Amino acid sequence: MVIAKAPLADIWAWLDQVPDPEIPVISVVDLGIIRDVAYDGDTLVVAITPTYSGCPATSVIAIDIEAALRAKGVDDLRLETRISPAWTTDWLSDKGRAKLEAYGIAPPNPAGGPDRCPHCGGGDLERISQFGSTPCKAQWRCKSCLEPFDYFKCI
Amino acid sequence: MEKDQLFQYLLRFGDNTLVLGHRVSEWCGHAPVLEEDIALANTALDLIGQTQMWLGLAGEVEGKGRSADDLAMLRDAWDFRNVLLVEQPNGDFGQTLMRQFLFDLWHDLVLTELQNSAEPRIAEIAEKASKEVRYHLERSRDTVIGLGDGTAESHARMQAALDLLYPFVGEMSAPDEIDLAAHEAGIGPDLAEIDQRYRAALSDLMGEATLTLPADSFAHKGGKSGARHSEHLGHILTQMQWLQRAYPGAVW
């Protein structure tokens, strides 16, 4: 029996439906952690890079990706971890950045801190902590609306 | 470099991050303020993540089928190769952050060099870990300056922490035959050169923190060779390895 291999564009589109387990408004594709999708013979190989080396979401993400692809009929599948080049927030998609901000998380910024408050757009901001609720975030506060917010660390 | 030497060399990096990661995780739920609690837990998490990479590679190099978990959970104290500094007790918050800074400064210098390692798998891990460690260093450096150049109380505690921990600094950059073999093979950095840069940076930063480096440069050694760990390591292992010892092979 010959099973048709799903086109790679479809695979990417399916992966773009898999949410990040910690920040469900963005997909694993938006996050920039899917480094490659290719066929090795009949086996689909998905290369994933971890955001932070100890991020507990990494194994959940691998399970979610496998489940999503199997649900689409991809049975011959291998996930690979690729640590180099190391993940950088430069790989976040523009769509992902916009979704983060709409969700209340300030997107990463090379200046080392957020541009504006994701709630009110104010620019008078202060850092509360270099770390936050997940390894990829820090805590900031807006001095205009007084709301605290998460900032996606720029690395 | 002999295979066993490379294995030992990798254990040093993995055991440093494992033991320090465990130590820092002991703060979880106990830090003075919530933001610091989260920062400490995140730092511990990064270090444990790095441990998986280092000990995973160590197990591969050893070639006896031992996983990162096997190496972390089923070795006894004499087989650990971490430096003595990272197994020292947490003490107060200042002592924990001083220990973190003294290690982060060295860790950052070494990881930067390891990115050019002739062993590509080491270079890859160093590239990944280096980004996280630079962030740790930024925080521990700022905190040590803030507390050192803070109130009379915080200054006194930071000076006491420095006096207590300084004798454990020398071991990190004192090369032994394994460090020399790694350098010779292009796998690891020249520790003597790291030592110079470390001491220059430390001296500058202690000036900013208004702290005084002890005059005596005596260094306790024996952690990275495994010859003489302090009594604290065994106590860490009783806690860290308890589950695997009590219920061998238990899985999540």
Dihedral sign of CA atoms A18, A22, A24, A27 in order: negative
Give me the amino acid identity at B97. L
Q: Which of B144, B147, B105, B35 is nearest to A130 (CA)?
A: B35
Regarding whether A25 and A81 lie in a shared domain, the answer is yes
Nearest CB to B49; choose among A53, A84, A132 = A53
Of A60, A87, A114, which residue is a domain's last?
A: A87
Give me the amino acid identity at B157. R
Q: Are A121 and A76 in contact (CB under 8 A)?
A: no
Residue A2: pLDDT over 80 = no
Give me the amino acid identity at B42. N
Helices and strands (H, E) in chain A, number of each type: 3, 7
E strand or H helix at B172, and its extent?
Answer: none
Regarding whether A75 and A55 lie in a shared domain, the answer is yes
**pLDDT value at position A114?**
95
Q: Which of A65, A84, A60, A79 is nearest to A134 (CA)?
A: A60
- Mean model confidence pLDDT for chain A: 93
- Please write the tens of the pLDDT for every residue from A72-123: 999 999 999 999 999 999 999 999 999 999 999 999 998 889 999 999 999 9
pLDDT under 50 in chain B at which residues?
none
Quote the minimal CA–CA distance from A91 to chain B in Å: 15
- Please write the tens of the pLDDT for every residue from A30-43: 999 999 999 999 99
Is B39's CB within 8 Å of A135's CB? Answer: no
**pLDDT value at position B32?**
87
E strand or H helix at B170, and its extent?
Answer: none
Q: Once rounded to an integer, what is the mean pLDDT over residues A51-68? A: 92
Q: Is residue A25 part of a domain?
A: yes
The domain in which residue B47 lies consists of 3-246
A residues 130-149 lying closer than 8 A (beta carbon) to B: 130-133, 135, 139
Regarding whether A98 and A75 lie in a shared domain, the answer is no
**pLDDT value at position B251?**
86
**pLDDT value at position A112?**
83
Domain count, chain B: 1
Of A87, A104, A138, which residue is a domain's last?
A: A87
The domain in which residue A80 lies consists of 8-87
Regarding whether A82 and A15 lie in a shared domain, the answer is yes
Is B38's CB within 8 Å of A55's CB? Answer: no
Q: How far apart are CA B121 and CA B204, in angstroms?
A: 34
Nearest CB to A155; choose among B43, B131, B139 = B131
pLDDT category at A56 given cuts 50, 70, 90 is: confident
Q: How far apart are CA A97 and CA B84, in angstroms?
A: 43
Quote the minimal CA–CA distance from A84 to chain B in Å: 6
Q: Assign residue A81 the CATH number of its domain.
A: 3.30.300.130
The reply to whether B244 touches chain A by the CB within 8 Å rule is no
Tokens standing for A129? 């902590």
Regarding whether A104 and A77 lie in a shared domain, the answer is no
Domain count, chain A: 2
Q: Are B212 and B220 in contact (CB under 8 A)?
A: no
Q: Are B164 and B232 in contact (CB under 8 A)?
A: no
Q: Which of A122, A90, A124 is nearest to A107 (CA)?
A: A90
Q: Is residue B116 part of a domain?
A: yes
Q: How far apart are CA B45 and CA B51, in angstroms?
A: 10
Q: Are B137 and B104 in contact (CB under 8 A)?
A: yes
Q: Is residue B163 part of a domain?
A: yes
- Please write the tens of the pLDDT for every residue from B166-224: 999 999 999 999 999 999 999 999 999 999 999 999 999 999 999 999 999 899 999 99
Query: From residue A46, how far is each of A76, B7, B111, B208 by CA, in Å?
Result: 11, 30, 28, 48
Q: Assign residue B195 the CATH number of its domain.
A: 1.20.1260.10
Regarding whether A53 and A101 lie in a shared domain, the answer is no
Q: How far apart are CA A80 and CA A72, in angstroms?
A: 19
Query: From residue B126, how far is each of A66, B66, B109, B170, B225 by CA, in Å?
Result: 28, 22, 11, 22, 22
